[in-house]
Structure 1
Amino acid sequence: MKKIATTVAIIIVSLILMVNNARAGGFDIGVDAAILIDAESGQVLYEKNADKKLPPASITKIMTLLLTMEEVDKGNISLDSMVTVSQLAESMGGSQIYLAADTRLKLRDLLKAVTIASANDACVAVAEAVAGTEENFVRWMNKRARELGMKNTHFSNTTGLPTDGEHYTTARDVAIMARELIKHPQVLKWASIWVDYIDLPNGRKAMLTNTNRLINDYPGMDGLKTGHTDAAGYCLAATARRNGMRLISVIMKGETEREREEATARLLDYGFNSFEKYIVLKKGHKVHNIEVPNGTRTSTVAETANDLKVVVKKGEKDLLTKKVVINEPVEAPVKKGDVLGKIQVLYKDQVLSQVKLLATEDIEKAGFLTRLWRSIARWFQELISNIF
């Protein structure tokens, strides 16, 4: 009996050591592609096959929502605008709220249906309301993707339904557009709703049930978008906030719904448990003695435009270094608020974060005679230093 107990104890200790060694050697999850970023800075905390092109399924709708909210912000359309449902929108398969052609709904309700229930019919109706046709809207989607630096993305529809055209993205690109979308708080309010109803014409109601079950189960989660097709597998772009830090995770091509949920929870847990947000420098931190050779003043002071924040592994703050990079040369005239350079935070020579350095004063260009005299003085200084 003692032998068995000893053997079991040895096995348990071995397993614990194996787990600890695995953690020390690096975190990993089993899905095809994934990424974890800090939402504020975009700093990557974990990635796996993050640039692999994959079909995104309904994660596509992140871009649909983003473009629409940007048009709302510009005043080109209102959340209270009435939208007429087209035959094309009515014909959409997959997830839907069974809209009838020629009926009218508020844009606000259609966006809720897209965000919460991933409704394809509502998605197409939104696109047509914003851009006239879905084809126009898709063109805008691809243009916006290029503007955001989504280098490995191409959309052929607004919904993510299987298509004959090229329709792909990457975990990294999904994180980029998700980071942009969460700048719109209203979307997070919708995305955090578990069950809701919207009024349809003819006295009907559509029940909206969130396709992201982690909204109920994962502390701090308030978004963002699920996806599933046979080709794409099970995908989830999620965001959660804890202790003043918001993270965005992307899981692509999970084998089951449960796997994407478990992988998302593990990835976010890894971020929240292993990292902390650290303010390296406060907004307004001064950098002195920045040379302005042709100015009425030959040196000036710059200050940081914002707090310089970084997400760092717990216990590794002492490994961070700072680097001041000044634009060369700084030439007058300089206006207060001009960007004169930046301060970077590095971890093992890798730039983790940076903040702009702004001019704190106006400096005019020195006159010709002043600049000539300075040139002569510099020439004499160099001559003397070379002699001695």
Structure 2
Amino acid sequence: MTARELAMLARYLIYTYPEYYHFFGEPEFKYRDKFVFRNRNSLLFEPDLGVDGLSSGYIEEAGYGLVASAKRGDQRLILVVDGLNTKQGREGEPRRLIEWGFKSFKPFRLFDAGEKVSDALVWGGTQHYVPLVGDGNIDVILPATASGKVNASIVYQGPIKAPIHKGDRVAVLRITAAESSATNDIPLYAREDIEQSNFAMRGIDSLLMLAFGWLL
């Protein structure tokens, strides 16, 4: 598993199972009131650093490693390091990288919660388009020196077949910073229900698709 894949897994755990994430930040675990296991992620015990969870490890082939997440205010960073030679290195290098990360990157607000991002084309619906929104505010993390300008595109398999229910995940907002080649995909959801149209209207939609490749 690559460092990127570990970071993606950490992000998935944090945002998909927030009710369980706090277990990764427990300072110790007591078993049968007799055995106490202390968390080996020593960065958890430095409150100013902002580290609140995930895991450290060691295997002979890869050395000492750490997957950690730190949060300050509304900004969260995920860190993956591996191949370190000592436990001390597993503490010092991540600490330096976390401090560098918070100084070097900052969040930019693209859309507020509930604000329409764009529309997606609908086939066979009572409306030809469905408005798209994010799951809450849509923020991106960019270099602190960045202008805040981004290149954005809406990606989906369309037109989207009705019926569509409010909250259905139907598209992705693909973000690329103007100063970077890295991309960030943000899920987009239907803001409202779109009912299926009658048979005649669905037939017209099909004819438009065949004749014009959908021009609306």
Q: 1:225 to 1:317 in 2, by over 3 A?
A: same
Cα displacement (A) at 1:317: 4.2
1:286–1:301 CA contact under 8 A, matched in 2 = no
Residue aligning to 1:65: none
Q: Does 1:178 align with 2:24?
A: no
Q: Aligned partners of 1:191 and 1:279: how far apart in 2?
A: 28
SS in 2 for 1:328: coil
Cα displacement (A) at 1:330: 3.1
1:64-79 matches, within 5 Å, as none
Q: Given the two structures, how large is their TM-score scaled by the length of structure 1?
A: 0.44
Residue aligning to 2:199: 367
Residue aligning to 1:242: 72
Q: Aligned partners of 2:85 and 2:141: how far apart in 1?
A: 31
1:334–1:359 CA contact under 8 A, matched in 2 = no
Q: Deviations over 1:262-318 (max 9, x none)?
A: 111122112211111222112322366654464444x23413042222111113143
2:111–2:117 CA contact under 8 A, matched in 1 = no
Q: Deviations over 1:3-43 (max 9, x none)?
A: xxxxxxxxxxxxxxxxxxxxxxxxxxxxxxxxxxxxxxxxx
Q: Aligned partners of 1:231 and 1:322: how far apart in 2?
A: 41
Amino acid in structure 2 at the alignment position of 1:319: K
Q: 1:237 to 1:371 in 2, by over 3 A?
A: closer
Amino acid in structure 2 at the alignment position of 1:278: F
1:288-303 matches, within 5 Å, as 290-292=120-122, 294-297=124-127, 299-303=128-132
Q: Aligned partners of 1:292 and 1:269: how far apart in 2?
A: 46
Q: How many residues matched?
A: 205
Segments of 5+ residues of structure 1 without an aligned counterpart are 1-168, 382-388
Q: Deviations over 1:123-168 (max 9, x none)?
A: xxxxxxxxxxxxxxxxxxxxxxxxxxxxxxxxxxxxxxxxxxxxxx
Q: 1:263 to 1:303 in 2, by over 3 A?
A: same
Segments of 5+ residues of structure 2 without an aligned counterpart are none
Amino acid in structure 2 at the alignment position of 1:208: F
Matching residue within 22, 29, 35 for 1:188 = 22
1:226–1:236 CA contact under 8 A, matched in 2 = yes
Q: 1:277 to 1:375 in 2, by over 3 A?
A: same
1:339–1:359 CA contact under 8 A, matched in 2 = no
Q: Does 1:324 align with 2:158?
A: no
SS in 2 for 1:269: helix
Q: Aligned partners of 1:351 and 1:365: how far apart in 2?
A: 37
Q: Aligned partners of 1:370 and 1:177: how far apart in 2?
A: 41
Q: Looking at CA atoms only, which structure, 1 or 2, has the larger radius of gyration?
A: 1
Q: Does 1:259 align with 2:81?
A: no
1:115-154 matches, within 5 Å, as none
- By percentage of residues, which structure has more strand? 2
1:344–1:353 CA contact under 8 A, matched in 2 = yes
Residue aligning to 2:39: 210
Q: 1:192 to 1:342 in 2, by over 3 A?
A: same
Cα displacement (A) at 1:247: 2.0
Cα displacement (A) at 1:365: 2.5
Amino acid in structure 2 at the alignment position of 1:188: H
Q: 1:252 to 1:359 in 2, by over 3 A?
A: same
Amino acid in structure 2 at the alignment position of 1:262: G
Amino acid in structure 2 at the alignment position of 1:171: A
Residue aligning to 2:113: 283
Q: Deviations over 1:301-346 (max 9, x none)?
A: 4130422221111131433133234542234444444444333322
Q: 1:303 to 1:272 in 2, by over 3 A?
A: same
Q: Does 1:310 align with 2:140?
A: yes
Matching residue within 51, 67, 90 for 1:221 = 51
Q: 1:174 to 1:318 in 2, by over 3 A?
A: closer
Detail structure 1 runs of 4+ shifted over 6 Å in the superposition. Answer: none
Q: Does 1:232 align with 2:66?
A: no
Tell me the C-alpha RMSD between the 2 structures: 3.5
Q: Aligned partners of 1:258 and 1:343: how far apart in 2?
A: 41
